[in-house]
Amino acid sequence: MKRVIVTGPYRTGTTLVYNIVRCLIKAETGEWPYICGNLEEYDSANPNEWHVIKTHKRGTWMATESIVICTGRDGVDTLASMKRFDSYHPNISVGDEEQFLRLHLDAIKWRRHADLIVNFGCSTTRKIGHISRVLGIGRHTEEAYRLVNEIKPPEEGHDPVTLLFSHHITSR
Q: What is the CATH number of the domain that holds 90?
A: 3.40.50.300
Per the domain annotation, does 169 fall within a domain?
A: no
Domain that includes residue 76, residue range: 2-150
Q: What letter does residue 162 receive in the DSSP assignment?
A: T
Q: Taking residues 121-148, report their average pLDDT.
A: 92
Per the domain annotation, does 20 fall within a domain?
A: yes
Closest by CA to 147, choosing from 164, 128, 126, is 128
DSSP 6-67: EE-STTSSHHHHHHHHHHHHHHHHSSPPEEES-GGG--TT---SEEEEEE--TTSSTTSSSE
Per the domain annotation, does 165 fall within a domain?
A: no
Distance (Å, whole) CA 37 – CA 100: 22
Per the domain annotation, does 163 fall within a domain?
A: no
- What confidence tens digit (pLDDT) does each residue in 28-86 have? 999 999 999 877 788 989 999 999 999 877 665 555 688 999 888 877 777 777 777 66
Per the domain annotation, does 102 fall within a domain?
A: yes
Per the domain annotation, does 171 fall within a domain?
A: no
Per the domain annotation, does 111 fall within a domain?
A: yes
Per the domain annotation, does 75 fall within a domain?
A: yes
Total domains in the fold of the chain? 1
- What confidence tens digit (pLDDT) does each residue in 83-97 have? 776 655 555 665 666
Q: With contact defined as beta carbons under 8 Å apart, do 71 and 6 qualify?
A: yes
Specify the pTM: 0.85
Q: What letter does residue 158 receive in the DSSP assignment?
A: B
CA distances in angstroms from 25 to 20, 77, 144, 150, listed in the order given: 9, 30, 8, 15
